[in-house]
Structure 1
């Protein structure tokens, strides 16, 4: 193989990975799978896609080596191939945040109204948790909580929040979190909690951000 042939061939493979990422829905799938393994049907529901469209996008991700799958009876469960895939997704997200103004504008337009004040950072959460004046609520679906969650968090999926508000302590502020800085579930939770007169703030991070700091992540059902 000549040097030019090698260069063309290796960059073609790099482009293959980039092409797999080059879809809003496939990026959302990677974001979902970063929370833990899940079935095609679960991904389709969370990403508002048909099962057929979800399967096609998963096939592209699998062909690029970004996800793997296993069959359990009649269900096919997908998972991230290895941590480098999530690292690549985070690098893409960070680059978009830094270089594309529309990302910041969209985030401000959506989260600005519900936040009112600045969302809570991970560092602030650690300090307040040590003082014992906050209750951390994970509003993701139960299967994501079971796959991994911030230690001490309480699992209250968004769909159950209204019925379980009475379970929340009255002497502590609520900090709601979901999948990461662009997940809308925590913003919706904060809006509902404040409407019910419960002090609440949104955490501007998710479990993967917590993990990236080197802190432990708990797993298991609530």
Structure 2
């Protein structure tokens, strides 16, 4: 039997397929063992001759149970890296939208927000659509290069919604 998708579901499915940044490029690195250290050299961050190099942050993975617990206790801030349209269609309650595709434009605001969250002693948890979407891992690498420890909820919005937590 062929199942016909409702127009809204078809639109969402289509958008999910094209929503993440080059999915094939990052899939392997998302599945690496945790913790994952950020790249030692960064082309995005110029080195200052008269200052010490920035200590690289650590990237860890967070399970759905850990995300739920930290979120419920108010000990985490969630960052959604999906394009804004997906965030508007649904996201983890309380999450903040920082789309990876807009990184160049938002990086100052993002770094400032993460700095604030870390100064409050909270965990930064980054997520995107699902385990196949590399955006959360790529954003985590960018933050780790700036010296921030972050966690990635690699199953993302899809698992959160499937679990009925939306």
Output the CA distance in 2 between the equivalents of 1:43 and 1:184: 12
In structure 1, the gaps of 5 or more residues are 1-9, 18-29, 49-105, 217-222
Residue number among 146, 155, 158 corresponding to 1:205 in the alignment: 155
Residue number among 85, 88, 112 corresponding to 1:146 in the alignment: 88
In structure 2, the gaps of 5 or more residues are 37-58
Change beyond 3 A, Cα 1:192–1:113: farther
Residue number among 12, 27, 42 corresponding to 1:33 in the alignment: 12
Residue number among 189, 192, 195 corresponding to 2:142 in the alignment: 192
Output the CA distance in 1 between the equivalents of 2:161 and 2:146: 32
The answer to whether the 8 A contact 1:114-1:191 is kept is no
Residue number among 109, 126, 140 corresponding to 1:176 in the alignment: 126
- How big is the shift at 1:154? 0.5
TM-score between both structures, scaled by the size of structure 1:
0.49
TM-score between both structures, scaled by the size of structure 2:
0.63
Runs of 4+ in 1 over 6 A off after TM superposition: 42-45
Change beyond 3 A, Cα 1:128–1:152: same
Output the CA distance in 2 between the equivalents of 1:206 and 1:121: 10
- How big is the shift at 1:113? 6.2
The answer to whether the 8 A contact 2:64-2:160 is kept is yes
The corresponding residue for 1:110 is 29
Output the CA distance in 2 between the equivalents of 1:32 and 1:47: 18
Bigger proportion of residues as helix: 1
- Describe the superposition over 1:176-211 as per-residue Cα deviations: whole angstroms up to 9, x where unpaired: 000101110000010011111112111022222111
- How big is the shift at 1:46? 5.6
Residue number among 134, 140, 145 corresponding to 2:76 in the alignment: 134
Higher relative contact order structure (alpha carbons within 8 Å, sequence separation ≥ 6): 2
- How big is the shift at 1:163? 2.1
Output the CA distance in 1 between the equivalents of 2:21 and 2:139: 19
